[in-house]
Amino acid sequence: MKHFDFIIIGGGIAGLLAAYEFKEYNTLLIDEDGILTSGASAAAGAFLFPKVGFDTAYTRFINNAIVDSLSFYEKVGIDTHKIGVTLLPRDERDIEKFKKYEKEIRLPFEKKYGGFFFKDGGVVFPEEVKEKIKVDYEINQIKNLYKDGEYWCVGEYKTKNVILATGYKEIIDIPYINIRPIWGERIEGRGEINGKWKTYPTSQNGKLKEVLPCHFHKNCSLTEVDGIIKIGATHKRNCYECHENEEEAYELIEKAKEIVDIQNFKISKIIGGFRAASVDYFPVVGKIIDVNESLSMNPKIVKGEMPKFLNFIDGLYIINGMGGRGFSNAYACAKALKEHIINEKELGILDSKRLFIKWARKEGEEYLKEKNVKS
């Protein structure tokens, strides 16, 4: 049975970038479909846009991750189409919010095109990411994990360290981590853009053609790269049977027309997938907690007391819950996970233990009752 230092399960963008970060070790990535071939990572518009909002921990994380991601993709030779992005208010209420947000934005920006223009805004293509970021991987379905002494058995392989990057799918029960599937659909196509602002004419077949001066986001994200217009994405919770459909596609076209006048738009692609979102929107990174041992050692945690000590499952880690920002968040999370495992650096707000503490206070008592009944 072949041994590895790390086995990463899940070939979405989180798993791929984790495998890249651990590449210097004997690392294998396993996914039942391959790399960036299914789910939200395959369907992603991969818009790398900052967030406008109050200066919270979440906003700071998102915007720092954007800058890191753009730098990383450029370093490995991936075209980020970094022409900047304008974030537009959605309605009158948003206009008032933007006035408050303006004072708290840390990234460089300009008031432009009716919104806030950030030079740190780009788009990558999943196909190019897959091509440029090389890791050792295998196509295989892993249905369960089990421990044999100090090693984890993963299919026909053994490893001391497993990193779960499985999105909303579970292969092991972790009661305190609830990753929710959120359906998203995006479209690609060609059409004629008639801007409300000064655009840059380019020659195409001897004719002048208007193109977008930057990427845009309002009620959807909108960009044009090499004549292809990309619009994304829809956002549907609790829609487990969702699949690609024209109704959502035409909804996106109408939303894009709120940004710019698009005529004669012809859809060439409808692409959809399920994002993996945590309950508090932050990514979920770090060690997996041994729930039974930790509750046993901290019985008062269910009443609100902070745990004095947490017991972890040896060699089991997670990188998940990227939501709709996988291509922007995953690099920062993968880098943080490596620092955590190799150099024991704290993960801060990304650490999965935040979810355990909340879960234990809310559901821990009921969990213990059910466990006692079963035993």
pLDDT digits (tens, 9 = 90+) for 59-104: 999 999 999 999 999 999 999 999 999 999 999 999 999 999 999 9
CATH number, domain containing residue 247: 3.30.9.10
Cβ-based neighbours of 290, under 8 Å, separated by 6 or more: 311, 312, 313
Average pLDDT for the chain: 93
Q: Provide the 3-class DSSP secondary structure of residue 195.
A: coil
Please tell me the total count of domains within the chain.
Answer: 3
Q: Using CA atoms, how far apart are residues 142 and 340, in angstroms rounded to an integer?
A: 25
Q: Is the pLDDT of residue 373 over 60?
A: no
Residues 6+ apart with CB under 8 A from 17: 133, 330, 331, 333, 334
Same domain, 271 and 134: no
User: Do 370 and 310 share a structural domain?
Assistant: yes
Residue with tokens 């909303």: 168
Let me know whether 216 and 261 are in one domain: yes
Whether 18 and 151 map to the same domain: the answer is yes
Looking at the structure, tell me whether residues 288 and 164 fall in a common domain.
yes
| Residue 33 sits in the same domain as residue 137 | yes
pLDDT tens digits along 105-147: 999 999 999 999 999 999 999 999 999 999 999 999 998 899 9
**Do 174 and 284 share a domain, yes or no?**
yes
Average pLDDT over residues 323-328: 94
Q: Are residues 232 and 102 in the same domain?
A: no
* Residues 298 and 150 both lie in one domain: yes
282 and 369 share a domain? yes
Alpha-carbon span 308 to 331, nearest angstrom: 31
Looking at the structure, do residues 272 and 313 belong to the same domain, yes or no? no
Q: How confident is the model at residue 205 (pLDDT cuts 50, 70, 90)?
A: low
Domain that holds residue 102: 47-124
Q: Are 175 and 185 part of one and the same domain?
A: no
Question: What backbone torsions phi and psi does residue 326 show, to the nearest 5 degrees?
Answer: -60, -45
Instruction: Kindly list the distances between the CA atom of residue 294 and the CA atoms of 160, 218, 307, 375, in Å, as whole numbers in the listed order.
Output: 22, 44, 8, 18
**pLDDT at position 203, please?**
57
Residue labelled with tokens 């299914």: 38
Q: How confident is the model at residue 375 (pLDDT cuts 50, 70, 90)?
A: very low
pLDDT of residue 4: 98
**CATH number of the domain to which 354 belongs:** 3.50.50.60
User: How far out from the chain centre does Cα 80 lie?
Assistant: 17
Average pLDDT over residues 273-295: 95
Residue among 181, 221, 272 nearest 48 (CA): 221
